[in-house]
Structure 1
Amino acid sequence: MLFSRWKVCLLMLIISSQVHSARNILGTVGESAKLKNSELSQGPFSEVSWFYNETQKILTWDKGGKILGFETSLKTRIRLDDDNITLHIRQLQKEDSSTYKLKASLLGTGKEISEHIRLDVYERLTKPKVTSDPKINDNGTCLVNVTCSVEQVKENVIYSWTFEEQGTSVSSGEPILSISWKSGEPDQYTCTARNPVSNDSTTIYASELCAGHTFRVSRELIVVILPSIFSLLITLNWTQ
């Protein structure tokens, strides 16, 4: 029984030794990123290897100065910096998001060090667009549903609406905002779109959104009412 428990503890120790934590860095599509070894002071090194997705070797360097890049989508966009260990990736693509692994051997002792670095690449957001569908109810209140959106892939995008209400800034964390507005009330609303590498905002005014719609409603009412008025006037003339 004691031996079985010892085996279980040994197995747990082996498993825990294989678990690694990766440092996280952010990258932007079209820009560059550097994956640096946090233990650079341990050098110099006799050999350095970088892996994509932890297992696919993408580049090696040895103490003779020989650099070998392997046939991957990264080959033409990666290089080592002058320290011969920092991986430089240019023209980042979303597909470059991965956990990268560094393996290096210390010169002299041959001791190996390894490190995992998580790179997440995002698009820089464009200015958000706002669409709306204003309606006027019977008491003259303008009811508007406004939707904020960006052109990029919607993953990892957070929207927020900020507006003034009785002198206090109020924020809503949804892309769709329902506005109930009357003339004379605060009418400025700002939508902000954010992702881990960028943010941008668009400001709208309820008075502008509702003005065109109010005019359209009034024009439609005129089209309906005017014929009735003319008919009424003609009828009155005939009866006199």
Structure 2
Amino acid sequence: MTEAPRVDTGRRRPPAPVCPAVMLYLLLPLALVSCLGPGNTASQASSTPLMVNGTLGESVTFPLKLPISEDTHSITWLYNGTSITFIQLSDPSDPQIILTNPKRKDRLQFTRNYSLQLSNLTMADAGSYHAQITTQNSTVFSSYKLRIFRPLRNLEVANHTWRSENGTCEIHLTCSVENMNDDNLVRWEVAGSISIREANLTLSWDPKNSSEEKYTCIAENPVSQLSFSVSTQSLCKDFLNDESIGTLWIALVTIILICPVIVLLVVWRKKYCLCKRGIFHFSAQQTQTSGELVDS
């Protein structure tokens, strides 16, 4: 089977269309080179990126400060080195905003001074952001580091309480929280001042010699904080109830034992008094009879 001969009609296929966003991305470096001609400089606004903390599912703003001494021609926002938006300010009354990252176009907004606002944050949004501000004589970069955190939920305090041999209430507390990771801090606060940076806490409380104490578990990360408080009296209530019941039983047994004794004493005293009165009465009668016999 032979291949059919190709016929040259003399026509050439038209070039493939070029996406405007791709054209803009290719032209941006050329524009930057032209701006940085003789006498122009490029400077870094800050060698240390500004740390920006965001909450998963919420919004965050990258604050931008424009140069005051000269007019701004354009602003380019970049994420991890890739352009996400280009703002042309040749005519300040009619700024041209071109979104170069279609995946984020519905989540990007700008303030009056062109600070970037990113909404509906995802964990994939974390990373490095840069603002490239181009003026007539210079180009300034502002750097940011975005960190995304999940809000803390469901703080729980588990306790195990027992009575020691010397009569004190021994307490073991464990504090836990949902979405726990290395960026979260769990600590115990005692009486509003002393802080213990541990999730587990063991303590001993003597209700006879100590007043009630309050312990607060605090879990926090850069975007949220939760707390839960417990008191020694509430934790040792079963222990205190046992003591109260024991004291009540002792008092009851004492009353049961003392009451018959008191009754016996009362009865004995009454009988003693009656006997004493009877003997005195008999003696008086006997004396009177003897006197009468003598007289006769």
For Structure 1 versus Structure 2, the TM-score category normalised by the shorter chain is 0.5 to 0.7
Query: 1:31: how far off?
Result: 2.9
SS of the residue 2:216 aligns to: strand
Which residue matches 2:108?
78
2: CA distance between counterparts of 1:159 and 1:188?
17
| TM-score normalized with structure 2 length | 0.56
Which residue matches 1:224?
none
> What is the aligned-residue identity percentage?
25
CA contact (8 A) 2:173 2:201 kept: yes
SS of the residue 2:102 aligns to: coil
Which residue matches 2:79?
52
Moved more, 42-51 or 199-208: 42-51
**Is 2:204 the counterpart of 1:180?**
yes
SS of the residue 1:139 aligns to: coil
CA contact (8 A) 1:49 1:103 kept: yes
Which residue matches 1:128?
155
1: CA distance between counterparts of 2:153 and 2:69?
43
1: CA distance between counterparts of 2:205 and 2:143?
53
SS of the residue 1:128 aligns to: strand
CA contact (8 A) 2:66 2:133 kept: no
2: CA distance between counterparts of 1:181 and 1:94?
45
> Of the candidates 112, 119, 130, which is equivalent to residue 101 of structure 1?
130
1: CA distance between counterparts of 2:221 and 2:152?
7
Q: Where in structure 2 are the equivalents of 1:1-240 lying within 5 Å?
A: 20-41=47-68, 44-53=71-80, 55-63=81-89, 65-72=96-103, 74-83=104-113, 85-106=114-135, 109=136, 111-126=138-153, 128-164=155-191, 169-184=193-208, 185=210, 186-212=212-238
Q: Deviations over 1:160-190 (max 9, x none)?
A: 21224xxx94321211111212324323211
**Structure 2 residue runs without a partner (length 5+):** 1-43, 90-94, 243-296
Matched AA of 2:85: L
SS of the residue 1:37 aligns to: coil
CA contact (8 A) 1:22 1:118 kept: yes
Matched AA of 1:104: I
Q: Do the aligned partners of residues 145 and 30 (structure 1) sit closer, same or farther apart at CA in structure 2, a change above 3 Å counting?
A: same
CA contact (8 A) 1:136 1:214 kept: no
CA contact (8 A) 1:127 1:201 kept: no
CA contact (8 A) 1:128 1:193 kept: yes
**Structure 1 residue runs without a partner (length 5+):** 1-16, 217-240
Q: Do the aligned partners of residues 95 and 141 (structure 1) sit closer, same or farther apart at CA in structure 2, a change above 3 Å counting?
A: farther
2: CA distance between counterparts of 1:135 and 1:76?
58
Question: Relative contact order (C-alpha < 8 Å, sep 6+): which is higher?
Answer: 1
Q: Do the aligned partners of residues 181 and 95 (structure 1) sit closer, same or farther apart at CA in structure 2, a change above 3 Å counting?
A: farther
CA contact (8 A) 2:85 2:97 kept: no
Query: 1:151: how far off?
Result: 1.1
Q: Deviations over 1:28-71 (max 9, x none)?
A: 33332211223443564333211112x12222222461422413
Higher strand share: 1
Instruction: Compute the RMSD of aligned alpha carbons.
Output: 2.9
Query: 1:207: how far off?
Result: 2.7
Q: Do the aligned partners of residues 66 and 162 (structure 1) sit closer, same or farther apart at CA in structure 2, a change above 3 Å counting?
A: closer
